Structure 1
Amino acid sequence: MPSLSHVYDTLIIGGGPGGLTAAIYLRRFTRNVALVDKGNSRLRLIPVSHNYPGFPEGVPGHALLGNLTAQLERYGGSVMPGEILDLRIEDGHFVADYAAEDAPAGEPVQIRALTVLLATGVADVGLPVENWREAVAFGSVRLCPVCDGFDVMDKRIAVATAEINPVGHALFMRTFSADVTLFERGPASILTDDDRRRLDAAGVRYIDSPLLSVTLDAAMKPVMHTADGNDHPADVFYPMLGENARSGLAAKLGAETAHCDELVVDSHGATAVPGLYAIGDVTVGLNQIAVATGQAARAATHIHNRLPPALRAAQAASPLALHRAA
């Protein structure tokens, strides 16, 4: 199998906000970085984020990714489009099989690195929603109550139950609206008597007939269709899709995983595998852009400090510098 000729300080897998931020930090530390991105960042789905610091008017997801990519390029870095198919350890190095996006069919290229940082995020699963991407882009279907609850103030809000803490998101949305309805995702209710009491106390309606599908009306607003034949219009729908972390590459090497395959890491983003790090949604914790970028800064700094020193080569002093020294 062909191999790139040198060993990178760090291979970053995933070019979302976390991966790009880590690459920017490491390039500013003068580290040799390869960043491979498959193009699956959930940030691309966000029409406008209003809770990412520094953008008082909000920032479209694609624009934030573009800004981060341009900032990386300023420091000599770039994104390698494609996929890491396999990751292993050989002779003290991490070895990854890289299939470039535009490469002809054939054997992948090997990338060798001293450390690896996963910023691969999560894959959504869940309910059938008509024209899902268009609905997300329009804002009638939303993915993150923490991110944008403020933006749907006093709207008619529909929420689907989640596997873990099924009523939690509906109760959370009562912060922002008095009109919240919780729909049962599965064929049988998983709510306890205590769950039902909490919903009643908060004034959240509960529809126990299973939610079969969601369509959009002429105004692009969601309509929930339940098994009892009823239709339930709303202004916005939070499907609480459920998710699985894209952690397979790390788990294969022995990294510890938790619920939804999320990786367990320490405060520096280190997994149980020496030299293997993870940040952002693929790890246990709060899935937020700001969290991912903060974790990236911490992990990248730790990686830099743990790697062999990146010593700057001596350069001849300029005439101006010599004049000042005299």
Structure 2
Amino acid sequence: MHSDYDVLVIGAGSAGLSAALTLGRCRRRVLVADGGPTRNAPSGAVHSFFSRDGIRPAALLHIGREQLAPYPTVEVREFKITALTKLAQGFEATGQNGQGHPTKATARRVLLATGVDDVLPPLPGFRELWGSSVLHCPYCHGYEVRDQPLAVYGQGKAVAGLALLISRWSADVIIVTNGPGHLTDYARQRLRRQGIVVREEPIARLVGTARGGLRCVEFTDGSYIERSALFLHPPQEQRSTLAADLGARLTGKGAVWVDKNAQTTVPGLYAAGDMVPGQQQALLAAASGSKAAICLNEGLTRAEVT
């Protein structure tokens, strides 16, 4: 069966564009389907990205697209895919183009790079300050708020571990749990030794500054603590249901399971970036996309030279 493309890459973030670059250099016919803004779009900068530390997320993606231009077999276009159908020899994707018109494409293989969404607490201020002073990754943003008064939000073992990690960047760290913290005695001892205070009062809201930063965490009793930034590890959910709709295996945490070659449990369907298990960072997503592209090309080559 003839397909429009060798590989359909769904997602135009770091993982998707990196995969497209590698595949373009392999002279593969590639369509990158851009379905909208990336997860890190609200962030002021991308950090710890070799050669691009501090670049704005949109600027990084612009460079990524520019560097695809020399490769004539690679196409990037707006294409919000709503359904992916397994065919005898590939896949068919259907959805809408940038003008909202129905469109479709076929490909021998598909690489999902659709990412995840962070599920933030339903409290005033969290969404509004997300990416500026409500942060998820100390490796991405810890240096910018070093030596400032910081808060860490959450409960249980996870919040204790995150707070102890954050103390590498600041000696003034307070945990806010929004109710019972569900911390073990051992966790509380470790936090006390590090000088980390735990506040278990219910939270009313986060109060921002006129410039979009965090000013304080306000509790329901009217008291507050002044903080410059707040870190949390929010739950995540897949941005797209395409993998699950095809019956791909998910992990217990909701990530799309892949083998050592970046392939899901659906033959011909690959996945890369934040949507698969592992640490999450733009540079790591780009590396994941490149690795998946190599595996894709080698798999296609084996099928072609039998």
Same-fold status (TM-score > 0.5): yes
Would you say 1:294 and 2:287 are equivalent positions?
yes
**Aligned partners of 1:279 and 1:229: how far apart in 2?**
45
Q: Which residue of 1 aligns with 2:22?
A: 25
**Superposition map of 1:107-122 within 5 A:** 108-122=102-116
**Aligned partners of 1:299 and 1:218: how far apart in 2?**
43
1:139-159 CA distance string (max 9 Å, x none): 323231121212221111111
Would you say 1:222 and 2:219 are equivalent positions?
no
1:118-148 CA distance string (max 9 Å, x none): 1111111112343845x456x3232311212
**Aligned partners of 1:71 and 1:232: how far apart in 2?**
46
The correspondence for 2:187, drawn from 187, 195, 204, is 195
- Checking the alignment, whether the CA contact within 8 Å between 1:118 and 1:277 is kept in structure 2 is yes
Aligned length: 300
Structure 2 unaligned blocks of 5 or more: none
The letter for the 2-side match of 1:170 is: A
User: Larger radius of gyration, structure 1 or 2?
Assistant: 1
When structure 1 is superposed on structure 2, of 252-261 and 282-291 the one drifting more is: 252-261
**Aligned partners of 2:182 and 2:83: how far apart in 1?**
38
Would you say 1:71 and 2:71 are equivalent positions?
no
The letter for the 2-side match of 1:121 is: G
* Structure 2 CA distance for partners of 1:281 and 1:203, relative to 1, 3 Å: same
How far the C-alpha of 1:162 sits from its partner, in A, is: 5.4
- Checking the alignment, whether the CA contact within 8 Å between 1:256 and 1:271 is kept in structure 2 is yes
**Aligned partners of 1:162 and 1:34: how far apart in 2?**
43
**Superposition map of 1:258-297 within 5 A:** 258-297=251-290
1:31 match: secondary structure: coil
1:184-238 CA distance string (max 9 Å, x none): 14x4332222222221122111111122321213453332122333211111112
How far the C-alpha of 1:37 sits from its partner, in A, is: 1.5
The percent identity for this pair of structures is 32
Q: Which residue of 2 aligns with 1:7?
A: 4
CA RMSD of superposed structures (Å): 2.3
1:294 match: secondary structure: helix
**Aligned partners of 1:227 and 1:197: how far apart in 2?**
27
Would you say 1:304 and 2:300 are equivalent positions?
no
The letter for the 2-side match of 1:15 is: A
Would you say 1:84 and 2:77 are equivalent positions?
no
* Structure 2 CA distance for partners of 1:296 and 1:218, relative to 1, 3 Å: closer
How far the C-alpha of 1:110 sits from its partner, in A, is: 2.5
- Checking the alignment, whether the CA contact within 8 Å between 1:141 and 1:222 is kept in structure 2 is no
Q: Which residue of 1 aligns with 2:202?
A: 210
The letter for the 2-side match of 1:199 is: L
How far the C-alpha of 1:46 sits from its partner, in A, is: 2.3
Q: Which residue of 1 aligns with 2:166?
A: 173
- Checking the alignment, whether the CA contact within 8 Å between 1:49 and 1:60 is kept in structure 2 is yes
* Structure 2 CA distance for partners of 1:254 and 1:169, relative to 1, 3 Å: same
Would you say 1:253 and 2:246 are equivalent positions?
yes
1:267-305 CA distance string (max 9 Å, x none): 221111111111110011000111111111111011011
Structure 1 unaligned blocks of 5 or more: 312-326
The letter for the 1-side match of 2:23 is: L
How far the C-alpha of 1:94 sits from its partner, in A, is: 1.1
* Structure 2 CA distance for partners of 1:224 and 1:49, relative to 1, 3 Å: same
* Structure 2 CA distance for partners of 1:149 and 1:168, relative to 1, 3 Å: same
- Checking the alignment, whether the CA contact within 8 Å between 1:247 and 1:261 is kept in structure 2 is no
* Structure 2 CA distance for partners of 1:272 and 1:236, relative to 1, 3 Å: same
Q: TM-score, normalised by structure 2?
A: 0.90
- Checking the alignment, whether the CA contact within 8 Å between 1:8 and 1:34 is kept in structure 2 is yes
- Checking the alignment, whether the CA contact within 8 Å between 2:91 and 2:110 is kept in structure 1 is yes
Q: Which residue of 1 aligns with 2:117?
A: 123
How far the C-alpha of 1:111 sits from its partner, in A, is: 1.6
Q: TM-score, normalised by structure 1?
A: 0.85
